[in-house]
Amino acid sequence: MANKIEFLYDFCSPNAFLAYKVLPELARRNAVELRFTPILLGLVFKSTNNQNPFEAFSENRQKTAYLTHDLHRFARRRGLTFHMSPHFPINTKFAMRGAWYAQGKSWESRYIDAVFDAIWVHGQKLDDINVLIEVVQEADLPARKIREAVTNSEIKQALKDQSKSAVRRGVFGVPTLFSRNEMFFGKNSLGNLELELMATR
């Protein structure tokens, strides 16, 4: 596969969850490789003077109602199971450190699947490190090593550095995707991403 899609994500984003669920099939259709890059959305927001749209438009009931409707419509049209987390907005720093540790490992996709589903399908409170470890144990992942990783200061810093690097590339939120040097933001940009892939075959 000469081309690839880089997917920058944070588990705290429902839009990142939905994009992640449809990306594997999109990649297969276009014979491209998927690469996962975890970043801290809170750090990105702070660095770019951005914020969660549900908070940004909290006083605009029409806007927040539409944002919620759009999430459920996207999931329904694609046959995806999705529930808005009862703990939203959720602090995912431990889960994201685990994602950084999982990068390039044979079980990386299983880790991402398990954590995304725990939050956006099962409504679990993943800001609790003990709940996170229960989730990875149930997924038959190396729970002891993951627990060590999510409390490791070097991994904590490496994840921050990776997030700052994303900001320098122009990232301001998630999901953000790159194909070659072209950036696409949000789940609703996936159609344009696929057109770009088709044009560069």
Residue in the structure block whose two tokens are 């449809």: 22
- H/E run at residue 7: strand 4-9
Q: What is the pTM of this model?
A: 0.96
pLDDT tens sequence for the chain (201 residues)? 458 999 999 999 999 999 999 999 999 999 999 999 999 999 999 999 999 889 888 899 999 999 999 999 999 999 999 999 999 999 999 999 999 999 999 999 999 999 999 999 999 999 999 999 999 999 999 999 999 999 999 999 999 999 999 999 999 999 999 999 899 999 999 999 999 999 987
Phi, psi of 177 (to 5 degrees): -130, 145
Q: How far apart are CA 146 and CA 167, in angstroms?
A: 26
Token pair listed for 25: 């099939």
Q: Which CATH architecture has domain 4-199?
A: 3-Layer(aba) Sandwich (3.40)
CB atoms within 10 A of CB 155: 17
Determine the pLDDT at residue 1.
Answer: 41
